[in-house]
Structure 1
Amino acid sequence: MILIVDSGSTKSDWIAVDSNGKQLLEKQRTKGLNPEILSEEKLKKLIKKNEHLKANRKTVTHVFFYGAGCGTDRGKDIVRNALVEVFPNAMINVDEDTMAAVYGAINHDTEAAVVCILGTGSNCSYYDGKKLHQRVQSLGYILMDDAAGNYYGKELIREYYFNHMPVNIKLAFESKYNLEADYIKYNIYKQPNPNAYLANFAEFMFLNKDSEYIVELIKKGIRIFAKNMILQYKEELKTVPVHFAGSIAFFAQDEIKAVAKEMGFTTGNFVRRPIEGLVTYHIKNL
């Protein structure tokens, strides 16, 4: 059994296939397995909490894991150690989530492209057809993650508290969420995965895209992300497209295309979940 995993900070998708690409189990889901936020012990517990993964753990021969927080050797080692213990008979390969986005979004194995992730977190890299190049090292959700779900969650809460929201949007926002200050602070400062908590608020934007205020809020984040991340690759952008992966990108396609036109880059594919492309890639390259 071969396990292919696409893990963000909020959730992880697991697909089990045989060497011919035949799916052996229904797609499994666990909570996000980000080593920058969770300990090795917590990672192991979350994986074993899934009964199907636990029941089949000794029959797994390969694990290809792509995850948020795995862009450093430290992050890779934490995840690898957890996977080795859970799947003792498997060859383990751990890589950053950007490579999942690359394999899931590019049109063929050697296509050069700038590839962005806009999910709970955000990232942007250049893939030259063989290797990944990153010009900005991520410092996590507090300092970076522009245009990600947690960025928009933070912006919505700030807009609400600073009284910048139109009245109808403010009323809709407070009817959907518990916005008591103590409750918000408890979830951000006392609970695990505060970035995932903030990202939960981003859904509100896509339920209210008939509001010009919301559309401009989305575009504002995309412009900041493009300035800080995409435009790091000005030379490459002259000849390659920009592909996007992640739920925020998928639901903000219109706004991303509008900002791309403003800022002079060409959008390519939009992939909500890269894991299907990962399966195709790995079966072909076993």
Structure 2
Amino acid sequence: MILIADGGSTKVDWILLNSKRKEVSRVKTYGLNPSVIEKKELLNIILGANQLIEIKKEVSEVHFYGAGCGTKKPVQILRDVMKSVFVNAGINISEDMLGAVYASSRKKPAIVCILGTGSNSCYFDGFKIKPSTPSLGYTIMDEASGNYFGKILLKHFFYKKMPGNISENFKNEFNLDVDTVKRNLYRESNPAMYLASFAKFMFDYKESKYIQEIIKNGFQKFFEYRVLPFDKDKNTPIYFIGSIAFYFKDILEQVALDNNLIITDVIQRPIDRLVEYHQNLT
């Protein structure tokens, strides 16, 4: 059996294929970002997924495409964890950008962008991924990501910059006790995921001018830092992956046009197309 996984910092989508590469089952787990989550917790997340544990000895291949898997050390950490569980499997771990490329451009030249819990981009020339810059994560980068917008919402709430009705609903939806917020930001294991949890609030207020302005400004920063440096014209296909891009597609497309570019496609969840890519391998 073959396991295909699309791993973000918040969640992982797993699909199990049989020996004929037909889908058998689907599983969701918490995120497995080895750059921010300790090895023991990574293992516990997998061990907590009964559907995975029940078939662990039957799995012959694992293809994991994940956030935080762009450098050697975290990749090795996650590989060791996977190998301790799927003892009979060959373990293949790649960064989420490669999975995004396979799910969108299918190995054809394109700019491919991710707007999830974090954000990233690359130019794929048909052979190799070329990032615009190394990703340094949520503290100083990740423009237009879930954690980026979550930070803005939190700051606006505490600085009293939110419109009154939105502020009141924001307070009712989340535990905004100062000590609780600070503990999650500075003591818990995955602050990026915590910050991104606030961004979901924007989906319910997407018609609000306040939210639209925040989104538009964030998308423009993403283009400035993560798309325009590739110096490609409007004939270059551009793909976006992730819920932030999907739910605010209209604003994203307008920002692209403002920068004289055209978005080819926006894909909310890449896992299905990623599986199709593997099913079509010979």
TM-score where L is the length of structure 1 = 0.96
Of the candidates 148, 163, 169, which is equivalent to residue 172 of structure 1? Answer: 169
Name the residue aligned to 1:24: 24
SS of 1:100 mapped into structure 2:
helix
SS of 2:88 mapped into structure 1:
coil
Name the residue aligned to 1:70: 69
CA distance in 2: counterparts of 1:252 and 1:129, whole angstroms: 28
For the aligned residue pairs, the C-alpha RMSD in angstroms reads 1.1
Q: Which amino acid aligns with 1:8?
A: G
Q: How much does 1:154 deviate? A: 0.4
Are 1:206 and 2:203 counterparts? Answer: yes
Are 1:131 and 2:128 counterparts? Answer: yes
SS of 2:233 mapped into structure 1:
helix
Moved more, 168-177 or 250-259: 168-177
Are 1:232 and 2:229 counterparts? Answer: yes
CA distance in 2: counterparts of 1:233 and 1:71, whole angstroms: 19
Q: How much does 1:82 deviate? A: 0.9
Q: How much does 1:8 deviate? A: 0.4
Name the residue aligned to 2:101: 102
Q: How much does 1:110 deviate? A: 3.4
SS of 1:83 mapped into structure 2:
helix
Name the residue aligned to 1:10: 10
- Alpha carbons of 1:81 and 1:237: their partners in 2 closer, same or farther (altered >3 Å)? farther
CA distance in 1: counterparts of 2:84 and 2:209, whole angstroms: 50
Q: Which amino acid aligns with 1:86?
A: V
Q: How much does 1:261 deviate? A: 1.1
Name the residue aligned to 1:188: 185
Of the candidates 246, 269, 276, which is equivalent to residue 280 of structure 1? Answer: 276
SS of 1:237 mapped into structure 2:
coil
Name the residue aligned to 1:33: 32
Q: Which amino acid aligns with 1:184?
A: V
SS of 2:223 mapped into structure 1:
helix
Of the candidates 238, 251, 255, which is equivalent to residue 255 of structure 1? Answer: 251
Contact persistence 1:237–1:266 (CA under 8 A) = no
Moved more, 64-73 or 238-247: 238-247
Q: Which amino acid aligns with 2:131?
A: Q
Q: How much does 1:41 deviate? A: 2.3
Q: For structure 1, list consecutive stretches of 5 or more residues without a partner in the other structure.
A: none
Name the residue aligned to 2:88: 89
Contact persistence 1:5–1:14 (CA under 8 A) = yes
Q: Which amino acid aligns with 1:76?
A: V
Q: How much does 1:100 deviate? A: 1.2
CA distance in 1: counterparts of 2:135 and 2:177, whole angstroms: 31
CA distance in 2: counterparts of 1:73 and 1:233, whole angstroms: 25
Contact persistence 1:114–1:124 (CA under 8 A) = yes
Could you give the per-residue CA deviations for residues 163-196 of structure 1, whole angstroms, max 9, x where no partner exists?
2111121112112112221111111111121110
Q: How much does 1:5 deviate? A: 0.5
Q: Which amino acid aligns with 2:21?
A: G
TM-score where L is the length of structure 2 = 0.97
Of the candidates 119, 128, 147, which is equivalent to residue 150 of structure 1? Answer: 147
CA distance in 1: counterparts of 2:19 and 2:258, whole angstroms: 45
Contact persistence 1:19–1:283 (CA under 8 A) = no
Q: Which amino acid aligns with 1:285?
A: L
SS of 1:37 mapped into structure 2:
coil
Number of paired residues?
A: 282
Are 1:269 and 2:268 counterparts? Answer: no
- Alpha carbons of 1:237 and 1:21: their partners in 2 closer, same or farther (altered >3 Å)? farther
Q: For structure 2, list consecutive stretches of 5 or more residues without a partner in the other structure.
A: none
SS of 2:98 mapped into structure 1:
helix
Q: Which amino acid aligns with 2:75?
A: K
Contact persistence 1:115–1:243 (CA under 8 A) = yes
Are 1:122 and 2:100 counterparts? Answer: no
Contact persistence 1:65–1:95 (CA under 8 A) = yes
Q: Which amino acid aligns with 2:241?
A: A
CA distance in 1: counterparts of 2:117 and 2:261, whole angstroms: 23
Name the residue aligned to 1:140: 137
Contact persistence 1:66–1:95 (CA under 8 A) = yes
SS of 2:23 mapped into structure 1:
coil
Could you give the per-residue CA deviations for residues 130-172 of structure 1, whole angstroms, max 9, x where no partner exists?
2111121001111111100000000001011112111121112
CA distance in 1: counterparts of 2:225 and 2:209, whole angstroms: 24
CA distance in 2: counterparts of 1:239 and 1:131, whole angstroms: 19
